[in-house]
Structure 1
Amino acid sequence: MSATSQPGKLRSFSRYEEIPEGAVRISSEDVFIYQMERLRKWKPQSEVWPLTKGAGACAASAVVSAVLTNNHFRRHFRLRHYGRASGYMIVVCMPTVVTFIIHSALVTRKVLTAEFPCPTCLLTKSSLYQAATGAIYPSIISPIFCLIQAKKYLTAAIEPTKRIGDTVKVIARTAIPFKGFILLSILSNMAVGMYVTQMEMDTFLNVLMKKEITEEMK
């Protein structure tokens, strides 16, 4: 889909449509900048909150999942205050930032530039991105990091292991009792990703695009 600009107007055309004479072709980056400027000036902001706060909502979901997951494994390995700052940096802060960046760049941006010819595909991708960064990553990294910290600070009785398979077994034993929450975390993050993306697409089509059409009619 290529975007074209006329004086004071912005429209999108598929590759099969004829571009009007005098129209100026602009890049996806220019469209994105234009839409972000519109959102910044939009009144009231409550009408477009999914597009301005959607990535933040996804990041907040990742924070909740990562904190609960990290706390579980820290309690299991009796780490108390040992390695708390580094643990939260790796298990909580990192996936939160990555979630925000990925949703902003791969979902919100596509919505604002109308690059979602298949809405279902974008919803599915968004849910998978959210599940991977908000639930699966913390569920894998947290037990590994906590196991390393427990060996370092001798906070839990762990048999010395030299093979990777033995280490995986230790981690699996700590995760199995927590499997219900991990599954719930994955599903809830997928739901958040899909819901936020659906809200973004609805806002784009029913608020931003509708206003453009109204202004054209005037």
Structure 2
Amino acid sequence: MATFEKGILGGFSGKVGNVVGSRWRGKNVMRSLPQRGNYTPTELQLLQRERFKTVITFVTPIKGLLSKYFGKPQGDKSRYNLATSYHLTEALIAIPGGFTINYQKVLISKGDLRGLQQPVINAAPNHVLDLTWDDNSGQGNAAADDVLFMVVFAPNEQLYQVFNPASTRDQRSVQLTLPAFMAGLEVEIWAGFVTQNGKEAAVSSYLGTLTVL
């Protein structure tokens, strides 16, 4: 792939002969058409595809949160790019026949804000999740009005439920009601704090696995 800014005809989009022109990240780009043939991917390539597929399937439904709260963009890498890279390298487990996510290593948000202190979560009747934590407002950069978010994921059903906002740091507890159809499902749960303006985030906390009542 090559980039060009000033050619005989300037930038172009589409196919000319065996060359394709397009715009990519604000630049004019030319690339050759792929060669056709009986290409068979190697075992390593198939493995990499499966790794990527597993992570993308997991992170895509929460792209909105990751794009807002996962660290700071680095050059051409967006927050979502960084989140995808992190989960590929840190939160993937090989299992017979493929890969799965290590939920304890999952991060929904990443930053320098003070996080949850002593969180405790329990399942309550009528598909309610009961979360408590210590109010650490005033410690470091923690503010009383920092916003709590929670992400609930049912792995077997590939279902997400996001509560954002869920509460504030100074409230010390919250009861969140899941949809009735999630009763009986096993779920993985994460939560974290972000500032009121959404510009700073804490490293999210993994709260564990529960069965919804």
Shared fold (TM-score, shorter chain, > 0.5): no
Query: Relative CO higher for 1 or 2, CA cutoff 8 Å, sep ≥ 6?
Result: 1
Larger fraction in helix:
1
Normalising by structure 2, what TM-score? 0.23
Larger fraction in strand:
2
Normalising by structure 1, what TM-score? 0.23
